[in-house]
Structure 1
Amino acid sequence: MKKKKKDHQFLAERIVQLVGGTGNIENVIHCVTRLRFYLKDESLADTEAIEELEGVMGVAQAGGQYQIIVGPAVDDIYKTLSPFLSTADDGLPEESPEDHSDDKGLDKIGRAVNNFIGIITGSVMPIINILAAAGIIKGLLAVLTSTNLITDSGTAYLIINAMADAVFYFLPVLVGFNAAKRLDGNPLLTAVIGGLIIHPTILEAANDGMNIFTMGGFDFPFVTYTYSIFPMILAAWFVKKMEDWLKGWVSAYIQAIFIPIVIIGTVGALTLVITGPILVGFSTLLADGLQALLSLNAPLFGGVINAFYQLLVVFGLHWGIIPVYVNDFATLGYSYFSAIISMTIVGQGGAALAVAVKSKKKNIKELGYAGAFSAFCGITEPAIYGINLRFRRPFICASIGSAVGGVLTGIFSINMWSIIGSLIGLPSFIDPENGITANFWYAILVTAITLFVSFGLTYVWGYSDKMEMRQKKNKPKNPAKANITG
């Protein structure tokens, strides 16, 4: 354990140095396998030196983020990294890259879009694993009730159902807290707004169809906000802006009491009356629009999406899509879109497994089995960066197998009730209300076919021990970059 902590400490120190020091870091968040840096000047980062670090699988630059892939240990590395950032140098030269006054209009729009998506992602990513776990618990609960091991009126059902529902019920609080952290706002005050909009009396009024008030023939109804995402992201922004503004003129002697009163009253009322209902309506339209798109030609849609989806993962652009199907779960309680994408994870795992089985080289076998195991647990980066992309052909075979899986998922209209996919996520295909149905068996069938196609193509055509793994370039390190500490 001490050695792991020491390794993480060294890796964190080197990463901070090689991205340009603390003074070059605006912010950093993480997802399941990546540290996602927002850098003031990406040219200061020594990408080749970072890629050579033990524990780093690769680097991707996309969506305004400098992404360092470190695998499942990302949370431990992030926690080790955080103390370095707390001493970041806030002072910047006059000609800092932060000065965008001469940017062209399109650059400003692009940067604004990247920042917007980054805020959404930073609000959702930290709870993705918890959402996935809760979804699997719901699936297992459905199995327990459908097999009469427990009854839906018993104490065990009550407790397990509460475990599964808690994260969804309190989603506005969690999303608001994360959004405030991402915006450098006030997480606790924002969480209070989340607690307000899911207060039992508010939910009861919404369920009874009550209106807050009526004006000029327009009704302003109470809305159910459990499972919602977007209203709290906007609320976090309002809290941040209003708190900064109030601190500029309210006396320091009364700030501690006065500011929370004003913000809770103002942002709470604004969310309940205007922005909340509008954004809940937008969320529903987004989910319904995706459902309509899938209904046009689900097999074609599934095949095309799955053929190229893992390319988005390579470039780190899939992070912009994740909130779309998270919104499906939050709004509808299920997602056909997520079911389609799940097969791409299986495809990458199948290709890595084929390499491991076929190879006689010990190091390749180890990488292949590790990548396959990780993919079957829902994370593809170790398979992609450790094996498939470095030999190229396995990645192509995995994409073909994934496309086949996407087509079949569309043909059988396979649905999914939790965000986690691949083999570990098979319980996600169990209907929480009806238990094990044909949907579950179709999911197992298509998962098996996807795995078989990816494995078979890779074993026959995609790999042989005569192939050379693409190596990282070994160029002289830049000492000036390697020793910047901000």
Structure 2
Amino acid sequence: MPNTTSLNLLSPVSGNIIPLTKVNDPVFSQELMGKGFGVEPDKNKIFAPVSGIVAYVAGTLHAFGITTADGAEVLVHMGINTVELSGAPFTLNISVGQSITAGQEVGSMDIQKIKNSGRPKTVVVAITNTEDYLKDIKVEISKKNATETAALVTPKIVKPKEKPNISYSQIATEIIKNVGGKENIKSLIHCITRLRFYLKDESLANDKAIRSIPKVIDIAHGAGQYQVVIGQEVTNIYNEIIKQIGTDFANKPIKNDSTKHFTFTQEMKKGLSSFLSVLTESIAPLVGILGGAGVFKGILAILVQFNIMNKASVTYLLLNSIPKGVFYFIPVLLGYTAAKKLHSNPIILAVVGAILVYFSTVATYLPLPTILTNYASSIFPIIFAAWIAKPLEKLLKKTIPKILQTMFLSIIEIIILLLIITVIAGPIILVASYKLADGVDIVYNWNPGFIGLLVDGFYQFLITMGLHWIVIPVALNDLATNGHSYLNALLSITMVAQGGAVLALAIKTHDKTVRNKTFKASVSAFCGITESALYGFILKHKRIFVLSNIGSGIGGLICGLLHVNNYALTGSLVGILSFVDPNVGINTNFLNAIIAHLSTLLITFVLVYFWGTQKKSNDQR
């Protein structure tokens, strides 16, 4: 039923009620956190202003949030800038996910401690989803005892949501519980769309319960990980999980059980899993900036081609330094992200990356082969450096006297890492990187149409197993080594195919709710994020999955036959400008890219629209 019932907001503490605009804090007084009221408290006990589910409890106990049954999100914030007091004046006896009633005592605040710290003692009550929920609020400006009505709220008339309106914190709590609890978690990382758990025993995870949690799209297994597919909100939920289980579990190194004996095959699988984990966590934070820089590079090329901008102008040189700088200094960026993943010192590895780039510049004047000195834009040497940095640092801490470590530990570590890379490992890795790029080109050029059909016809299978991250570093290596990637052009086609499949479902269905979801999933796929389309709809219908792969394979065939090339780590329709040759601007490659992408969209749409569902199955659930 539509919501028409008024909501009473009780005063959470005894004191004088004041308008929110009078609160001595611009965030609250300008109602940036939502409408509500303030209380100048004269007693310490704190009570719940509404009934509902506890959605949030601050780590410093200075604030908590409640979600009511009809969708109001009510924040209680005790004191101004009191987060800096590290919880000293506060006690709260509630926890996230707990059901509480209006007027229930939930804790206390020490007013005198807050006053002694020089901070305002004002308690704020705000409806943080004011824009979606609140139609009107009437605040009673007077002295109130705790649990007396302080404001009367009139909600908007809203339709009930399909799933409960719960917070990221509640979602995190449910996920932790259903993967077997904190004690079953060894480590947690995330990529663009997935939580990637390393669990002690995957059999303890409740797949069915996790799939029913709001925001969860599906479950996947691969690379030794228990993967919870979330979509674009994965970072918010990841942060909440880490907040609840502790930062020790964030990217925690997985230690092998020395009492177990593994076969050669098992050891290989463990090694591959570890390698994929490092690549995933190192490259994932950079995908967005690398993709955006590549598209921007295409825009600049078009502006120059049509004489809107001059290559010799200061403006062009400044703007062109953005994509150039991002790609040129990849070793610096990867040094930082890889070190974070491997628990090395990220600052030291970023410095090592910067020195490698600088060395590549000055080494052109040395009597050395170019391939041995071209570390700018490289990806694998710096990841190798991050891998050996942790044990090296431990060794140096045991060797160097503590009194000298502050001054000499970092610089000695940098010197040793640079010597290992530039003299021993780096040249070998660089040669291997070039051979890998050459190998990809050789395989592609053997039969571009067939390779396109093969790659795009089966790439979705890799996604379902979480193994598509094997391909991403190969494409990135192509771009770093050659400045272009035929492989990444093929990957772009698969995204469009999945978007076309769910777009067909959106057009065909008669269910408005399903249509809204499928439209959103198609837009997401056309923007390069395919998990919502794949796990939300395509994988749930075998026929649609097969047809979308056929459409993707045909698109790959067309893309290969047209020799479509890509110049940035991005794709789908949103990244179409990454197919503009940065040296010449719009040419036949860009036009062929448009043909390949639109053909893929049309073919997959037609296949799924006419043959994807049976006649009595219009509502794709």
TM over 0.5: yes
2:615 and 2:347 map into 1 onto residues whose CA distance is 55
Aligned to 2:367: 210
2:515 and 2:183 map into 1 onto residues whose CA distance is 41
Q: What's the TM-score, normalizing by structure 1?
A: 0.89
Q: CA deviation at 1:88?
A: 4.8
2:256 and 2:370 map into 1 onto residues whose CA distance is 45
Structure 1: gaps of 5 or more residues: 91-95, 212-218, 472-486
Q: What SS does the corresponding residue of 2:402 show, helix, strand or coil?
A: coil
Aligned mate of 2:262, from 103, 111, 114: 103
Q: CA deviation at 1:413?
A: 0.5
Aligned to 1:122: 281
2:470 and 2:428 map into 1 onto residues whose CA distance is 22
Q: Does residue 1:410 correspond to 2:567, yes or no?
A: no
Aligned mate of 1:22, from 178, 182, 188: 182
Q: CA deviation at 1:415?
A: 0.3
Aligned to 1:340: 490
* Deviations 1:265-315, CA, capped at 9 Å, x for gaps: 111122122222211111110000000000111111110111111121122
Structure 2: gaps of 5 or more residues: 1-32, 34-127, 133-164
Q: CA deviation at 1:99?
A: 4.8
Q: Does residue 1:253 correspond to 2:412, yes or no?
A: no
Q: Does residue 1:54 correspond to 2:219, yes or no?
A: no
* 2:499 aligned partner, one-letter code: G
Q: Does residue 1:74 correspond to 2:234, yes or no?
A: yes
With over 3 angstroms needed to count, the CA separation of the structure-2 counterparts of 1:320 and 1:239, relative to structure 1, is same
Q: CA deviation at 1:363?
A: 2.1
Identify the structure with the greater strand proportion: 2
Aligned to 1:278: 428
With over 3 angstroms needed to count, the CA separation of the structure-2 counterparts of 1:13 and 1:304, relative to structure 1, is same
Is the Cα–Cα contact under 8 Å of residues 221 and 466 in structure 2 kept in the other structure?
A: yes
* Aligned pairs, number: 457
Q: What SS does the corresponding residue of 1:37 show, helix, strand or coil?
A: strand
Q: CA deviation at 1:220?
A: 10
Is the Cα–Cα contact under 8 Å of residues 508 and 618 in structure 2 kept in the other structure?
A: no
1:153 and 1:432 map into 2 onto residues whose CA distance is 15
Aligned to 1:296: 446
With over 3 angstroms needed to count, the CA separation of the structure-2 counterparts of 1:433 and 1:103, relative to structure 1, is same
1:316 and 1:469 map into 2 onto residues whose CA distance is 28
* 1:466 aligned partner, one-letter code: K
Q: Does residue 1:43 correspond to 2:203, yes or no?
A: yes
With over 3 angstroms needed to count, the CA separation of the structure-2 counterparts of 1:64 and 1:183, relative to structure 1, is same
Q: What SS does the corresponding residue of 1:418 show, helix, strand or coil?
A: coil
2:372 and 2:581 map into 1 onto residues whose CA distance is 29
Aligned to 1:84: 244
Q: Does residue 1:456 correspond to 2:618, yes or no?
A: no
Is the Cα–Cα contact under 8 Å of residues 210 and 222 in structure 1 kept in the other structure?
A: no
1:385 and 1:444 map into 2 onto residues whose CA distance is 27
1:86 and 1:409 map into 2 onto residues whose CA distance is 47
Q: Which has the larger radius of gyration?
A: 2
Is the Cα–Cα contact under 8 Å of residues 206 and 222 in structure 1 kept in the other structure?
A: no
Aligned to 1:195: 354
Q: What SS does the corresponding residue of 2:167 show, helix, strand or coil?
A: helix
* Deviations 1:319-370, CA, capped at 9 Å, x for gaps: 1111111111111111001111211111110010011001111122112101
Q: CA deviation at 1:459?
A: 1.0
- Map 1:428-447; keep pairs closer than 5 Å: 428-447=578-597
* 2:310 aligned partner, one-letter code: T
Which segment is superposed worse, 77-86 or 408-417?
A: 77-86
With over 3 angstroms needed to count, the CA separation of the structure-2 counterparts of 1:8 and 1:304, relative to structure 1, is same
Q: What SS does the corresponding residue of 1:185 show, helix, strand or coil?
A: coil
Q: CA deviation at 1:465?
A: 6.3
With over 3 angstroms needed to count, the CA separation of the structure-2 counterparts of 1:250 and 1:42, relative to structure 1, is farther
Aligned mate of 1:178, from 303, 324, 337: 337
Q: What's the TM-score, normalizing by structure 2?
A: 0.70
2:333 and 2:200 map into 1 onto residues whose CA distance is 28
Identify the structure with the greater helix proportion: 1
Q: CA deviation at 1:470?
A: 8.6
Aligned to 1:169: 328
Is the Cα–Cα contact under 8 Å of residues 509 and 515 in structure 2 kept in the other structure?
A: yes
With over 3 angstroms needed to count, the CA separation of the structure-2 counterparts of 1:20 and 1:99, relative to structure 1, is farther
* 2:238 aligned partner, one-letter code: Y
Aligned to 1:244: 394
Aligned mate of 1:139, from 295, 298, 317: 298
1:18 and 1:73 map into 2 onto residues whose CA distance is 19
Aligned mate of 2:572, from 405, 409, 422: 422
Q: Does residue 1:375 correspond to 2:525, yes or no?
A: yes
